Amino acid sequence: MKHNKLIGTLILAASSLLLAACGNSQASSTNKTLNITIPGRAMTTDPDKTLDTNSDLIQNQLYEGLYAKSATGKIIPGVATKIVKPTNNGKTYTFTLRKDAKWSNGDTVTAQDFVLSLRRHLDPKTKSQNTDSLKSIKNYEGVYSGKMATSKLGVKAISKYKLQIELSQRSSWFDYLLTEIYPLSTNAIAKYGSKYGTSSDKTVSNGAYKLADWNVSKDSWSYSKNKQYWDAKDTKISKIDARVVSDPNTAQNLFKSDEVQETQVSGQFVKEDAKLKSLHITPQNRLNYLMFNAKNKTLNNPNLARAVSNALDRSAITDKVLQDGSVAAQSEIIKDQYQDPRTGKDYYGNHKLQTYDLAKAKKYWNTFKKETGKSTLTMELLTDDTDSDKKAGQYIQGQLEKYLPGIKISITSIPHAQHVSRDFSGKFEMNLTGYSTEYPDPTDMMNLATKGNTINFTQWTDNKYEALMAKANNLGKYTDKERANYIQQADERLMAIQGTIPLYQPATANLLSTKIGGIHYGMLNAVQYKYAYWK
């Protein structure tokens, strides 16, 4: 018996040591810093003023909306206690907020914080330039134009923890927008005013992480676990260090040396890394396209746009130039964005409206020269300074100069934040730019070419397209199948007159360490590090 008792004691002691070791391992994993890269600097952490994708990447870690997304992209409750069913024919949403939702400064997240954020976003004084996704909210047009007071916007705090949003018409995708309508700390806005979001010490978060050591000119910063976050217990990684890396060679070297555990690569490096388990290629919910400055009478010419469009082989861009999983554009509607209710199939693949036809390109080019009396044309092509955008720009330059005699292209490649600023100021001639959709309906992308849209940088317009899009946007009057007819007609019209020149749907090629779990990539699912963990 003594012998058995001694064995039992030894086993118990060994078990205790093993459990302690496991506990220490888990603790060390939680405290271990995750190192990541981001393609460029961010412009702001103020959701009401965000224009660029890099700012979005940061804000995804800092804020939580009424709804959130699971690790795999499913819509789940965020600050709201549940997913609500709208009333009033789909136009009224009433939310009860979590009483344990806190700001990083310890303040309670209230319904008024959401009211403040939405009213401020659409207040003309804020000068928000990315507002069109909120058009379905009641009195949007009146408030954003300044004709109505912000208090007339269809949002109100019924009580401290009860919020109501009214729409002007039902919206099939409003749940997606509710994951991106973030609250703003009423106290922080009162304290910092227009300076809010210009640095980490002027940013207050209600999401899984807080920001440290960041301002608009910084190339590195940190995220630290927000202990005030209502679900902080499930945030496994306490600290994340981020740095700006735009060069894919540098990114790959940092990853291979384990200096970073997540990064992005492009071009030849995607090919080199193809067999690695750490490579994840994901098509983006984004369309990259060319546009001309419509304020320039010479460039605002359909035949010039048609000539350029037909001179570009989109499959060559994706398969030979980019080589990163990007998808050749067929029209204004990207792959896997829109299931056609008339057929039950993806719209993409059944409506190829973009062609590579050099004979047509030369025909339209000659017509343009006759119309304008010009035998030569010199244009600046504006692009991001990323590896992929620079390569795409070089391809465009080579094709146009080779097959459209008399055309001369100079390329200007600048950081994304600067590019976005030039987009909105209209300081470009030919522009390689892009837009990421916020919900799974083609009107989000197609509205970019409508009059008054803030992303329609030079306010190109076509009356027939406007009329078709007005019908496509009218969910209250038309069925889904009727809308599909108008969407197709609008798509065909836009491509016929080349209001924009769709080129490709970019893909993101991420290298993610096999030591990290919990991160999933998806078209409408931005990376959320709150789900990440060390294996």
Task: Indicate whether 310 belongs to any domain.
Answer: yes
Could you tell me the end-to-end alpha-carbon distance of the chain, in angstroms, rounded to an integer? 42
Task: Indicate whether 365 belongs to any domain.
Answer: yes
The 8-class DSSP code of residue 85 comes to P
| φ, ψ (nearest 5 deg) of residue 104 | -65, -20
Do 293 and 425 belong to one domain?
yes
HSE at residue 262, side-chain half, CA atoms within 13 A, is 27
Task: Indicate whether 409 belongs to any domain.
Answer: yes
Do 293 and 396 belong to one domain?
yes
Q: Give the pLDDT confidence of 135-165 residue by residue, as tens digits.
A: 999 999 999 999 999 999 999 999 999 999 9
CATH number at residue 93: 3.90.76.10
Do 344 and 441 belong to one domain?
yes
Domain boundary among 177, 201, 225: 201
Task: Indicate whether 19 belongs to any domain.
Answer: no
Do 169 and 306 belong to one domain?
no
Q: Where are the beta strands (DSSP E) in 98-168?
A: 155-159, 162-166
Task: Indicate whether 17 belongs to any domain.
Answer: no
When divided into structural domains, the chain yields a total of 2
Do 163 and 302 belong to one domain?
no
Domain boundary among 201, 233, 260: 201
Task: Indicate whether 406 belongs to any domain.
Answer: yes
In terms of Cα–Cα distance, which of 81, 353, 455 is closest to 231? 81
| pLDDT at position 51 | 86
Pairing of strands 92-96, 155-159: unpaired
Do 330 and 458 belong to one domain?
yes
Q: Where are the beta strands (DSSP E) in 389-429?
A: 407-414
Low-confidence residues of the chain: pLDDT under 70: 1-30
Tokens coding 212: 């440290």
Task: Indicate whether 10 belongs to any domain.
Answer: no
**Degrees to nearest 5, angle at CA 440 with 437 and 443:** 70
| pLDDT at position 129 | 85
81 burial via Cβ count (<10 Å: 0-12, 13-18, 19+): middle
What's the rounded Cα separation, in Å, for the pair 300 and 109?
A: 48
- Judged by DSSP in three states, 301 sits in coil
Do 316 and 174 belong to one domain?
no
Domain boundary among 149, 181, 201: 201
What's the rounded Cα separation, in Å, for the pair 496 and 364?
A: 12
What's the rounded Cα separation, in Å, for the pair 495 and 306?
A: 9
Tokens coding 112: 């008024």
Give me the domain span that covers residue 117.
39-201
Do 295 and 197 belong to one domain?
no
Task: Indicate whether 206 belongs to any domain.
Answer: no
| pLDDT at position 214 | 98
| pLDDT at position 29 | 60
Do 370 and 501 belong to one domain?
yes
pTM: predicted TM-score of the whole model, two decimal places:
0.89
| pLDDT at position 10 | 33
Do 306 and 412 belong to one domain?
yes
What's the rounded Cα separation, in Å, for the pair 30 and 27?
A: 5
Do 95 and 197 belong to one domain?
yes
For residue 62, the Cα-to-chain-centroid distance in whole angstroms is 15
| pLDDT at position 293 | 96
CATH number at residue 401: 3.10.105.10
What's the rounded Cα separation, in Å, for the pair 143 and 453?
A: 15
